[in-house]
Structure 1
């Protein structure tokens, strides 16, 4: 978690009621595990979600992405810098992109792209010192690592009213126990809900109700 003088690592995830965050944007986004529901977000449009995403982009000055999400973004956004989505494409094309990968030999052709992953904790600290708001978009495997190691400052969950029953979850079985502080909760159209959390210190406690 950052101090008041450093930048923030912000994790942005679209998730279902049962916590699935895999492949919300398209059928071929992530088919691992024979996932049959790629693109589940598309039939559930929300103007409120769109507004909140746009507001978050106003301070974004770097991206931290997993390799799969990076490849998807690199194959799409550089070709979409005009039209309705042009402002997003221009932003993503302009800001530095940091790609988490253990493969030191990966080729990153998108301008402004740099590999991280040799020492993620140290590299995240460096990103905080260099940027104001670093956004982790999608990249569920990377997000799970950042959550487990508390290498983040804010978790933004856009929760949709759908249950899939399978797929990669934000907090899968075996996730590291941790406390969180709710920063805000707001409802949107179409039954969506935006939950914003920050990591909280201390070990998870247990007890008996009413004692």
Structure 2
């Protein structure tokens, strides 16, 4: 059985939109893109080491349309021979399967990518039931909500930034299903970011 892991860079008020760059996702007039940068610059490389360790376990990506397009336009075209984490992740992401939930896309240009089809929960449940490692969800807030509604998330890994933006897409938006989580571990980085790992408490989860 594979493990579906939702990972996110998230603010104290729950925003996950466009942490990586100013033009990553301006949907809704979002003007705070790149909000992780000031913290990442002062963490002494701790954050990069954690991401490298997380992604060494990634056997597949599970993405919504918007996040897929962002990833395909970055990791899908960047130089695999780049130094450090960028090159390492570019090589890995190019080679592993990418499963995409979309009602509008009909073709996927990034290598090893495929659409999940009209019944996303059933397709994901089938993927999860197969032997394998971690299936990684980045971003993809609507997809994460759908997965939670069908009890298909095995773990959340959240890098919580000491920042309140007051606007932007949230991972746990209004209407997200009631979910009780067990804290598996936490780690404070010198930048002030907290790395929290949670597992759903399925014996007490009301969906």
TM-score (norm 1): 0.88
**Contact 2:7/2:138 (8 A) holds in 1:** yes
Residue 74 of structure 2 is matched in structure 1 by: 76
**RMSD of aligned residue pairs (Cα, Å):** 1.6
**CA distance, structure 2, for counterparts of residue 165 and residue 181 of structure 1:** 27
Residue 159 of structure 1 is matched in structure 2 by: 160
Residue 142 of structure 2 is matched in structure 1 by: 141
**Contact 1:65/1:136 (8 A) holds in 2:** yes
CA 1:122–1:192: 2 relative to 1, 3 Å: same
In the alignment, structure 1 segments of 5+ residues that lack a partner are: 1-5, 205-211
> Which 4+ residue blocks in structure 1 deviate beyond 6 angstroms?
none
Matched, 1:65 2:77: no
**Contact 1:22/1:140 (8 A) holds in 2:** no
**CA distance, structure 2, for counterparts of residue 148 and residue 52 of structure 1:** 28
Cα deviation digits, residues 104-140 of structure 1 (max 9, x gap): x521011100001422222112222153111011222
**Contact 2:121/2:146 (8 A) holds in 1:** no
**CA distance, structure 2, for counterparts of residue 58 and residue 75 of structure 1:** 21
**Contact 1:62/1:131 (8 A) holds in 2:** no
**Contact 2:65/2:100 (8 A) holds in 1:** yes
**CA distance, structure 2, for counterparts of residue 17 and residue 107 of structure 1:** 36
TM-score (norm 2): 0.89
**CA distance, structure 1, for counterparts of residue 187 and residue 57 of structure 2:** 20
Residue 120 of structure 2 is matched in structure 1 by: 120
Matched, 1:52 2:47: no
**CA distance, structure 2, for counterparts of residue 155 and residue 146 of structure 1:** 12
Residue 208 of structure 1 is matched in structure 2 by: none
In the alignment, structure 2 segments of 5+ residues that lack a partner are: none
Aligned pair count? 198
**CA distance, structure 1, for counterparts of residue 56 and residue 78 of structure 2:** 21
SS at structure 1 position matched to 2:38: coil
